[in-house]
Structure 1
Amino acid sequence: MKQNLLAIYIIAGILIIVGTISYFLKSDNQDYSDKIKVIKTFELPYALREISGISHINDSKIACIQDEEGILFIYDLEKKDVVKEILFGPRGDYESIRIIDSIAYVIESNGKLFKINNFESDSRKIEIYKTGFNNKNDIESLDFLKEENIFLTIPKRQNLSDKSDDFIIYEINSKTYKVEKEPYFRMKVNDSIFQEREPFFTNKHLNPSELTIHPDTKEIYILDSKVPRLLILNPNGSFKNMYKLNPKNFQQPEGLSFDSKGRMYISNEESDFLKQNIQLVEWE
């Protein structure tokens, strides 16, 4: 019996070693985003070490949140520093932020939505809505589709009242702030884009950490922070492209925002080797 167990352990060890070697050999040929060039890196203060979402206020200021404190940080790109902190809620798990004119929308992983009216004013008003999601869904994304007057989001973990593992984008009503029963878009889990030729122990499914709509093309950009990737969908939800982000530059991408010129900014949480940051990137 002991010999059989020893043989099993040896075989398992060999498989893991071979898989690991295969992974790293393959990594040299990965389609890392050399196509996505980091133009500038903005190192963030310690308070934003777990930065979870960003959204442009204007081309020089970005609103940031981190996933533990109910604080909205205003980061000035020109001064390269946080110029204002706005308390809007208790400790929680805040994951995404979207600025629409004078309103800041912040969503928690449990689906609770904070609407901060006149967020930069001392007379700001805060409203809280239950969207219909919960902790099992693990919501980390949110953006507003102006043309259809709806919010879009994707559960990172479990779909809403759906036992399938399909990749589903849901819409949240902009008047009631309730999730609609009918999905905005559904992609089958066995779609070819998810069938990557990776070692058996790597994650083949997306774990969406952010969803952002391009202001000009209306394409849907989706970040995966677990296996750094950027999925781009056409405005109708159909697949356009997917890029593997080089972890040397994108250690844990959690936030994505575009400025008025369509320039893309990606935020990263801290890692063992890299500080928390916001990166201005461009396509080569």
Structure 2
Amino acid sequence: MATFLQQIGLLAMLSFSLGGCDSTKKEQVVYKDYDLEKPDKFNMPESLFEISGIALNQGNPDTIYAVQDEDGRLYRLGWDHPKQFNAKFSKKGDYEDVTILKNNVFILKSNGLIYNFPLSEAVFQEVEQIREYKKILPKGEYEGMFGDEVTGKIYILCKNCEQDKSKNSVTGYVLEPDKDSTQVSGTFSINVDEIKAITGKVERGFRPSGLAKNPLTNDWYIISAVNKLMIVTDSQWKVKEAYKLNGNMFIQPEGIVFDKQGNLYISNEGDDLFSGNILKFKKISR
């Protein structure tokens, strides 16, 4: 009998030990440049409950620019200062992202329409010098846009487009804005198989909601609210890394931007239980 009890005890200890190793392994997940479990959190005021896109001017973190997906307003506010100011640029609609390029504001509507006006107009209650670029992009649903100060180009990723098979690839478009017009000058694509090779199955295909370029590495960071995923690609759009996002922290990640120090900001639209927020992840020093 004693021998039998000893065997039971040994099995229990072994089971506990294996369980402990499993838990420890999960706790030891290390992200290459950012600890995605330890952000500084900035809860949004009620006006930005449905925050959908964020931008910084030339990577300066002093002022955060934002849009939300119902009001045609560009919001601006300081980190951890809930008082916001805004400039009306259009009527109500589904606005998904904002970027600032060469002192010009570009705002992306979900149907691919783009609004453009000088950044200097953002200090007024209503924008006057505004242009609309229609039918530049193929028919589809768009959420992610980034203006690159270095190249002078705008990069837009399709979330759900007829010409794409999101289980295989996602198409992006390169725009070169000028004073007279803005046209597509090139395309790129994200190979979903490269994501699957890292994370396994990608449910419902890959549906990106935001993208930004890391100024320190020139890598692209792309988030997906649908997939609860962040991927990292090199400058040629080859997938290098993929991180599953904690749904308790990343409620609905839709906006992404870096400051000039390489700190990462991700905005989340709110829901019935949580207000919208912006999470800041400091660059890990090595």
Q: TM-score range by the shorter chain?
A: 0.7 to 0.9
Q: Note the 1:258-273 alignment, pairs <5 A.
A: 258-273=258-273
Question: Equivalent residue for 2:53?
Answer: 53
Aligned length: 250
Counterpart residue number, 1:83? 84
- Tell me the amino acid that sits aligned with residue 127 of structure 1: R
Q: Answer yes or no: is the 8 Å Cα contact 1:131–1:172 preserved in 2.
A: no
For 1:67, the equivalent position in structure 2 comes to 69
Question: Unpaired runs of 5+ in structure 1?
Answer: 1-24
- Once the two structures are TM-superposed, the CA of residue 205 in structure 1 deviates from its matched residue by 2.3
Corresponding residue of 1:281: 281
C-alpha displacement of 1:36:
1.7
Distance in 1 separating the partners of 2:157 and 2:165: 15
Aligned counterpart for 1:128 among listed residues 126, 132, 137: 132
Question: Normalising to structure 1: TM-score of the pair?
Answer: 0.78
* Residue 153 (structure 2) aligns with: 150
Counterpart of 2:183 (choices 178, 181, 185) is: 178
Residues 161-211 of structure 1, C-alpha deviations (whole Å, 9 max, x = no match): 55685222221122332223x42x22444x24225445xxx7152211001
Q: Which SS does the other structure have where 2:83 is aligned? A: strand
What whole-Å deviation, never above 9, does each CA across 1:58-116 have from its counterpart, x for those lacking one? 322101100111011112115x1133111011111100001235321101011111112
Q: Aligned pair 1:109/2:113, yes or no?
A: no
Q: TM-score, normalised by structure 2?
A: 0.78
- Greater mean alpha carbon deviation, residues 124-133 or residues 226-235: 124-133
CA radius of gyration, larger in: 2
Partner of 1:19: none
Aligned to 1:98: 99
2:196 to 187, 194, 197: 194
1:147 and 1:56, CA in 2 relative to 1: closer, same or farther beyond 3 A? closer
Secondary structure class of the residue paired with 2:47: helix
Amino acid corresponding to residue 53 of structure 2 in structure 1: G
- Say if 2:63 and 2:77, in contact at 8 Å, map to a contact too: yes
- Kindly, what percent of the aligned residue pairs are identical? 27
Q: Is the 8 A contact 1:223 1:254 kept in 2?
A: yes
Aligned 8 A contact 2:164 2:170 in 1:
no
Where structure 2 has 5 or more consecutive residues not aligned to the other structure, the ranges are 1-21
Q: How far 1:120 sits from its partner (Å)?
A: 2.6
TM-fit CA distance, 1:281:
1.2
Match of 2:239 in 1: 239
Conserved 8 A contact 1:130-1:178: no
Counterparts of 1:223 and 1:91 in 2: how far apart (Å)?
A: 25
Is the contact made by 1:107 and 1:113 (CA closer than 8 Å) also made in structure 2? yes
Q: CA RMSD in A?
A: 2.7
Alignment of 1:211-222 (within 5 A): 211-222=211-222
